[in-house]
Chains A and B, each alone.
Chain A
Amino acid sequence: DTEVTQTPKHLVMGMTNKKSLKCEQHMGHRAMYWYKQKAKKPPELMFVYSYEKLSINESVPSRFSPECPNSSLLNLHLHALQPEDSALYLCASTRTGHDSGNTIYFGEGSWLTVV
């Protein structure tokens, strides 16, 4: 099973709303990622969690707040977003350790539209 599950698949929110994106994997992976992808562009790294601790924050605005409640779950809390934040948000995961293979598996993504 190489599945990363993201919910919701589509989300429309106003600029004053608070919403969350969720990501779940049951592959025993201890590194999880959030990427943002605009149309016709490559994914851009936002956050990396390793063993449930934030290890990389790519200077993402504070209106995006990640959370890793346990080794299987990763959330992205959204508040006071701007229309330019509309994008596909991809979650990914991988095993850790230098002999782990390092293949990163992606979910199907959550389409976010900010109105």
Chain B
Amino acid sequence: DAGITQSPRYKITETGRQVTLMCHQTWSHSYMFWYRQDLGHGLRLIYYSAAADITDKGEVPDGYVVSRSKTENFPLTLESATRSQTSVYFCASRGLNIQYFGAGTRLSVL
């Protein structure tokens, strides 16, 4: 299917565990983004990538790691999950001036 897909859709983990959220896009867009959405804070940029092997920090990067070895994939890793990282995570890619968002991953850290 064409588009941008995130997996898993829902994830429950425990404090201190490593968690990886996956993002895959089929358009070959150069730019990809990770956001977190929290009530009262809207969408906040965690990391973004301009191309394979090029990544940069956004507004709230602490506690997160990204990689981009292939254009179509942009995984987000929480190296040691904390309760404050409970959130809904959205991946996006950019075509022309439009950001296309995935359906999100709802992560709960207990």
A and B form one complex: no
Chain B interface (Cβ < 8 Å from any Cβ of A): none
